[in-house]
């Protein structure tokens, strides 16, 4: 009963929120039966945890990701500070924002018999590009797609502890450690597809080891994890198989390629060869195969990517536009793509974030609960999501 009275009190704020959106949504909402979307019990949270049902009326509201999904989908895909926050609050909540909602609406309406479309999230530092990517990937996962998620492409071009010359092509280099970690995460995310998809080619790893045509994808992945020396080539083989099979009439899956920090593929690397000369990213097997996947010559899926200046090498700190970060070669390879800008929080989103932190008992300083304190938070963070997170951390 108290909840009903509470929702009545909140109704003016809720209708104020709703009146920002088109009338069509409201009529649609009223026409629908009572049990589908109940009144949200707070202004900043929504009970709808399925990204497919998110629409404009959920803009600025937080939805909870089920913890089972977090463990399978994002073994290492979420930003570090966000992982700490999930551990502290005992729940994982993401705000529904305009950029990811736009990409999800496009994904719902595309014709998957045409070549794959490329979506690129770009924006200033700390505006929420990686989280938007994670929201979109969660949507793809809940729709039953096969998710190929590279958490950070920059990790493949720097700090490489082991660099082996490639067994397949003498001019290229292998990175066994990165390849095995990625295969393990891939296996964890896409358990259900491993026993359904069959390979179309025969792969020979050494003189005595080979994978027959028609064997399961799961066996291929296990081969890569157990035989560390050939893991980079296994990654290339997996990418090739999925790319060939995704558009075909026989396959029943859709492929989502999600890459964070895609500008690392066409930048420079800090890995050195034995004679101290720098390695071009093109000479790395993993990067070479990933670049082939980023071309739009395959059908039946989508490519979603994020630019990132934070982990990138030899780029100025002020660069955030696609032209600046991708460089000439990268832009030409990615062209044509759909750029999606991710801005700082709007006033409504800032309110929502502030109320969420208050609800989770994260804002503890007595002054931060006053109007003066809130104005100061707006001033100090400039409504930038990551700056606000850092400031509210110690307040």
Partner 1 sequence: MAASISGLLKPWTPSVFLVRWSRYNPYYLEPEVSKEAYSRPETELSAEEKEQRELKALRPIKAATSGVTSSVFDDPVISKFINMMMEHGNKVLAREIMTQTLENIKKKQVEKYHKASEGEREVIECNPYTIFHQALENCKPVVGLASIQKGGKYYQVPIPLTDNRRRFLAMKWMITECQDNKHRRTHMYEKLSQELLAAFGKEGNVIKKKYELHKMAEANRAYAHYRWW
Q: Can you give the binding site for partner 1, defined by CB under 8 A?
A: 84, 87-90, 360-362, 364-368, 370, 372-373, 376, 393-395
Q: Which of 249/366 has CB closer to partner 1?
A: 366
* Ranges of H-type helices in 19-79: 23-31, 67-73
Structure tokens belonging to residue 316: 């100025």
Helix or strand run (H / E) with residue 183: helix 176-189
Q: Which of 291/390 has CB closer to partner 1?
A: 390
Q: Where are the beta strands (DSSP E) in the chain?
A: 62-65, 92-95, 117-122, 146-150, 164-165, 173-174, 203-204, 210-211, 255-260, 301-306, 338-341
How do 117-122 and 301-306 pair as beta strands? Answer: parallel
- Asked if residue 192 lies in contact with residue 252, where contact means CB atoms within 8 angstroms, the answer is no
Closest distance to partner 1 from the beta carbon of 379 (Å): 10
Closest distance to partner 1 from the beta carbon of 394 (Å): 4
Closest distance to partner 1 from the beta carbon of 75 (Å): 21
DSSP for residue 147: E
Q: Is the peptide bond before 336 cis (omega within 30 degrees of 0)?
A: yes
Give the integer Cα–Cα distance in Å for 195 and 323. Answer: 41
Please calculate the CA angle 66-69-74 and round it to the nearest 5 degrees: 125
Q: Which of 85/315 has CB closer to partner 1?
A: 85
- Asked if residue 7 lies in contact with residue 39, where contact means CB atoms within 8 angstroms, the answer is yes
- The alpha carbon torsion through 256, 261, 265, 267 (nearest 10 deg) reads 160
Give the integer Cα–Cα distance in Å for 252 and 250. Answer: 7
Q: Which of 90/277 has CB closer to partner 1?
A: 90
DSSP for residue 66: P
Q: Which of 90/113 has CB closer to partner 1?
A: 90
Q: Which of 329/365 has CB closer to partner 1?
A: 365
Closest distance to partner 1 from the beta carbon of 376 (Å): 6
Structure tokens belonging to residue 264: 């690392």
Closest distance to partner 1 from the beta carbon of 90 (Å): 4
Cα of 317 vs its chain's centroid, Å: 22
Structure tokens belonging to residue 12: 């003016």
Closest distance to partner 1 from the beta carbon of 135 (Å): 23
Buried b (16+ CB within 10 A) or exposed e, 302-330: bbbbbbbbebbeebeeeebebebbbbeeb
Give the integer Cα–Cα distance in Å for 285 and 293. Answer: 13
- Asked if residue 123 lies in contact with residue 382, where contact means CB atoms within 8 angstroms, the answer is no
Half-sphere exposure of 157 (CA within 13 A, CB side): 27
Structure tokens belonging to residue 63: 């939805």
Closest distance to partner 1 from the beta carbon of 389 (Å): 10
Closest distance to partner 1 from the beta carbon of 161 (Å): 21
Q: Which of 12/366 has CB closer to partner 1?
A: 366
Q: Which of 29/370 has CB closer to partner 1?
A: 370
Q: Which of 105/367 has CB closer to partner 1?
A: 367
């Amino acid at each position: 009963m108290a909840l009903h009275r509470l929702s009545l009190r909140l109704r003016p704020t809720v209708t104020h929120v709703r009146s920002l959106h088109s009338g069509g949504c409201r009529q649609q909402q009223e026409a629908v039966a009572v049990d589908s979307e109940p009144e949200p019990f707070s202004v900043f949270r929504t009970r709808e945890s399925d990204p497919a049902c998110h629409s404009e009326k959920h803009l600025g509201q937080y939805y909870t990701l089920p913890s089972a999904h977090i463990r399978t989908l994002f073994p290492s895909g979420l930003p570090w500070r966000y992982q700490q926050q999930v551990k502290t609050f005992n729940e994982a909540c993401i705000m529904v924002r305009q950029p990811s909602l736009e990409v999800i609406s496009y994904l719902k309406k595309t014709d998957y018999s045409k070549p794959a479309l490329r979506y690129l999230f770009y924006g200033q530092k700390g505006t929420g590009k990686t989280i938007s990517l994670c929201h979109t990937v969660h949507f793809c996962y809940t729709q039953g797609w096969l998710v190929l998620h590279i958490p950070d492409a920059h990790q493949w071009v720097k700090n490489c502890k082991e660099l082996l010359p490639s067994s397949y092509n003498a001019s290229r280099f292998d990175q066994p450690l990165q390849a095995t970690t990625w295969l393990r995460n891939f296996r964890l995310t896409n358990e259900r597809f491993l026993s359904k998809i069959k390979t179309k080619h025969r792969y020979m790893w050494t003189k005595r080891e080979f994978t027959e045509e028609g064997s399961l994808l799961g066996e291929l992945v296990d081969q890569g994890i157990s035989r560390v020396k050939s893991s980079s080539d296994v990654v290339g083989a997996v990418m090739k198989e999925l790319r060939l099979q995704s558009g075909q009439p026989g396959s029943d899956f859709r492929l989502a390629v999600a890459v964070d920090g895609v500008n690392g593929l066409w930048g420079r690397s800090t890995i050195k060869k034995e004679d101290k000369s720098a390695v071009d990213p093109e000479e790395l097997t993993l990067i070479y195969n990933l670049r082939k996947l980023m071309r739009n010559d395959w059908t039946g899926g989508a490519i979603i990517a994020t630019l990132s200046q934070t982990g990138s090498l030899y780029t100025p700190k002020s660069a955030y536009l696609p032209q600046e970060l991708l460089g000439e070669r990268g832009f030409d390879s990615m062209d044509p793509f759909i750029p999606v800008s991710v801005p700082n929080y709007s006033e409504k989103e800032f309110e929502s974030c502030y109320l969420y932190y208050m609800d989770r008992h994260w804002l503890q300083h007595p002054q931060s609960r006053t109007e003066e304190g809130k104005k100061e938070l707006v001033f100090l963070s400039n409504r930038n999501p990551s700056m606000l997170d850092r400031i509210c951390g110690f307040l």
